[in-house]
Amino acid sequence: MRRPNRPRAPCTSSPSGPLVSAEQDVSSFSPAVSRPALDSVGWHLTIHTMNGGSSDHPSWNQDFPDHINLTQYQVERLELIRRHVGVPEHSFRLHVIGHPECSKMLQRSLFEQIRRKNPGMPDELALVTVIYTRYLTARATGHDLFGLQRFPLVDPDQPPAELIEAIAEMIRARGWGSIDDVAQAIHDEEARLPTIPPVPGLEGAARQVTVILAERTDGASK
């Protein structure tokens, strides 16, 4: 009897969300650093077997970082997509964790933490803190964010006043009045970083994942 062909094994995600190929041994696969390390995970993977898993109890969504909050309905639909395209659970987990929509969740979570720890802080200052924190992450991985590298920075714990004022002025000039505005702006800025080409034929599945992850679970509208 002829042995059936082994399904292709797509894995992980690029900053813009598409699944990328792991058809080859990717133990030494090292794409250009894309999303800052604050919410990313290791890119070095070796896929030995296809992990089927259970659609009722998938393992890819266990022990997510606190900022990733998915409903059971979202998980069920994402699992259907994963199984349909044959992505291993570990690889799908990486795709979700590194997804731009989860990065937006991170920015919103950070914003709320800042406000809780600093009662009475103006929203603009909290937004400045979010951007500055994200800039430090980008800087640590060798990238710029919004051109802020032009400001000398000796001690991250004591940013120069001109850097903080530049961020505040940028928020005012661009009309970013909410954390959603800032999260989207960070996403758009980071989308310029190098990406991994999507596997041909999986673009549709990647778009479906994006739509599901973009659904708000905090009661706010898009």
pLDDT tens, position by position, 20-68: 333 322 222 122 223 333 333 222 222 222 334 444 578 899 889 899 9
Q: Which residues of the chain have pLDDT under 50?
A: 1-55
**Residue that is written with structure tokens 């310029």 in the block:** 192
Global pTM reads 0.68
> How far is it, in rounded angstroms, from Cα 27 to Cα 29?
6
Residue 10: beta bridge partners?
A: 21
Looking at residue 153, what is its pLDDT? 93
Do residues 138 and 189 lie in contact, with contact meaning Cβ atoms separated by under 8 Å? no
Q: Exposed (0-12), middle (13-18) or buried (19+): which is 84, by Cβ within 10 Å? A: exposed
What percent of the chain is helix, strand and coil (3-state, nearest 5)?
45, 5, 55
* Identity of the amino acid at 151: F
Residue-wise burial string across 27-39, b where 16 or more C-beta atoms lie within 10 A, e elsewhere? eebeeebbbbebb
